[in-house]
Amino acid sequence: MEKFNNIFDDEFPSSFSDDPKAKKLPSNRIRKHTVTVRLNDFELNRVNNSRNQLSKSCWLRSSALQQLPPSVPEINNEAWQQLTASLQKLNDLGSFLLRRGEDAQPLSQELTALKVKLSHVRDALLTFDK
């Protein structure tokens, strides 16, 4: 599956950390350019309705770079959330099996296959709206 939240990664700016050894962003990743956008009332309403909890600037940047998180149709919201919870439980089980060692390897392979199938179902919920 794609990694959708690429803003909060290992190279997050060190200004948010008290640790002096925190990584500094390379100069090519520092955002130093400003772009101003004028919107009419209709366009602003569309942006506000689409951005959910993201700031306008973050949403516009993500939209321009085609990095927006998936939009789940309302009818599929509950199924999406349940599959997300199920995938998290499978990840926890996978971590447990890794700690068990080679005895659990066959079960671990089955678990990986199940996670892939659930991920495909979850991705299908993004487009299936009836």
pLDDT profile of the chain (130 residues), mean per 10 = 44 54 74 89 90 84 80 78 84 81 77 83 72
**Rg (Cα) of the chain, in Å, rounded?**
20
Q: Cα(70)–Cα(51) distance, rounded to whole angstroms?
A: 11
Tokens of 69: 């998180």
The 8-class DSSP code of residue 25 comes to P
- Would you state the pLDDT for residue 10? 46
Please give the model's pTM, rounded to 2 decimal places.
0.44
d(CA 8, CA 49): 23
